[in-house]
Amino acid sequence: MGPLAQAVAPSHMPIVLRPLLPELILVGTALALMLLDALRPTPDQRPFVLLSLAGVAGAAAATLSLWTWKGPGSVLGGMIAADRFAVYFRLVILAAAALGILLSSYYLDRAGEARGEYYPLLLFATAGMTLITAASDLILIFLALEILSLSLYLLTGFSFRRLASAEASMKYFLLGAFSSAFFLYGIAFAYGATGTTNLAGIATALASRVNGDALALIAVGLLAVGFSFKIAAVPFHMWTPDAYQGAPTCVTAFMSAGTKVAAFGAFLRVFGVAFLPLAHDWRAFMGVLAAISIIVGSVLAIAQTDIKRLLAYSSIAQAGFILVGLSAGTQAGIQSAMFYLAVYAGTVLGAFAVVAIASVRGEEHTALSSYAGLARRRPLLGLALTAFLLSLAGIPPMAGFIAKVSVFSAAVQAGSWPLVLIAVLASVAAAFFYIRVIVLMYMQDPAPEIEGVRIESDPAGWAAVLAPAFLTVVFGILPGLLFGLLRTASVVRF
């Protein structure tokens, strides 16, 4: 009998599916949508939107019920973690998905791109995102990463008649596949170094080593590169501006929020659990990654003339700020990064929602010059975008300010004040381009060719703008609401 046989006796563990219920609901809804689309094709998109929203709501309810989960910390043979960490991330992702669906129904109607394949793909992507935050085995994390990536490549190229969309999809796919290879290679090295792919098992194996060996360090490096692609940290950010600009704006909104939250969730779990024994080695790496992401993202954002590209570079810089919290390597660091992620998700989603509405029928008016005088033409839209931009810049009383402060204070406590110095200077510089857009909206007259363009909006579109705007202000004034949850949710158990 070979070595495998000793490890695998046919097991009769009780099958506990409740911690997996959110994903089961999401996939089940996606299957139902596919059947509906295949068997009863209808040009009317409303049943699809309503069914998707119901699926996301059901998944959210199932997730909420897990908050008081008393069962074992990991189920299904150590594959799925049933901790509040996963609950928190899933809720953020599901909220982003719900807003993304609303925005999509608004956008696709007007862009004339409404087709039945859209919502199943969106739900597959959401299921991949929520699964990755709960997965506690590298193989499962990889599969979830592939599900979410594959669906997002397709959504990015969904309006493939528009050349930019097809191009964005292609670039995203090629670089994404490249990063998957890094990730897979990292898994192979991790298995080679420890003999297991289970996160807790890896931690146990590494903790018993006297000195860290090169194999495990390479695994850490390769996995970090794989994650860095997904969170769009410099120097693995090349796909971001093109993909964000080319994708249909509703997809951009959903993926900029969802992918980053999901990838960071898995990032935190893998490095906070499996590679915690090597924390001393990877902290510096994260710090460097954070610093260059902040600097490059902020500097390049200044030169942008297209609002979608501007927000893409901004999201690169934001990934850097979140990494600052991660590089602290402490409980406070994880907590602040988690707060930052929720705030970032809401803010960027709302900002792209404004772009989707203001650019009328898709992608026509995304140049920054089209935003001149927006606040006069549509005061509420202008006000919402102002709130989002101020939050991204980290100016009080918006939630982004609290997020930045908490990340910085965690890093200072951990002793990495040079990193914080760089981050503070860069955020001062970055404030320039956010405020430039605000000035443009309030102080300048609209360009003549844009003046007559009517911006229409419907309740779904408004919901996707106003809900995040409301949360951005509320969490800015009452951050305790979220931090209260985070005290228990930031404990990664498995």
**Chain contacts with another protein (rule: CB under 8 A):** 1-5, 7-11, 20, 27, 31, 34-35, 37-39, 76-77, 79-80, 112, 115, 117, 120-121, 124, 127, 131, 137, 139-140, 143-144, 146-147, 150-151, 153-154, 158, 160-161, 192-193, 213-215, 218
Instruction: Map residue 29 onto helix, strand or coil.
Output: helix
Q: Specify the DSSP class assigned to residue 81.
A: E
CA atoms within 13 A on the CB side of 466: 9
Number of Cβ within 10 Å of residue 180's Cβ equals 18
Q: How far is the CB of 73 from another protein (least distance, A)?
A: 16
Instruction: Map residue 74 onto helix, strand or coil.
Output: strand
Q: How far is the CB of 193 from another protein (least distance, A)?
A: 7
- Indicate the residue among 215 and 279 with the shorter CB distance to another protein: 215
Burial class (CB in 10 A: 0-12, 13-18, 19+), 71: exposed
Q: Is 17 left (phi over 0), alpha (psi -120 to 50) or beta?
A: alpha
- Indicate the residue among 282 and 434 with the shorter CB distance to another protein: 282
- Indicate the residue among 123 and 316 with the shorter CB distance to another protein: 123
Q: How far is the CB of 41 from another protein (least distance, A)?
A: 8
- Indicate the residue among 92 and 121 with the shorter CB distance to another protein: 121
Instruction: Map residue 135 onto helix, strand or coil.
Output: strand
- Indicate the residue among 114 and 393 with the shorter CB distance to another protein: 114
- Indicate the residue among 133 and 366 with the shorter CB distance to another protein: 133
Q: How far is the CB of 321 from another protein (least distance, A)?
A: 31
Say how far apart CA 442 and CA 376 lie, in whole Å: 7
Token pair in block for residue 322: 């979140």
**All residues at 6 or more sequence positions from 146 whose CB lies less than 8 Å from its CB, including other chains:** 128, 180
How does 277-304 read in b/e, with b if 16+ C-beta sit within 10 Å? bbeeebbebbbebbbbbbbbbbebbeeb
- Indicate the residue among 214 and 445 with the shorter CB distance to another protein: 214
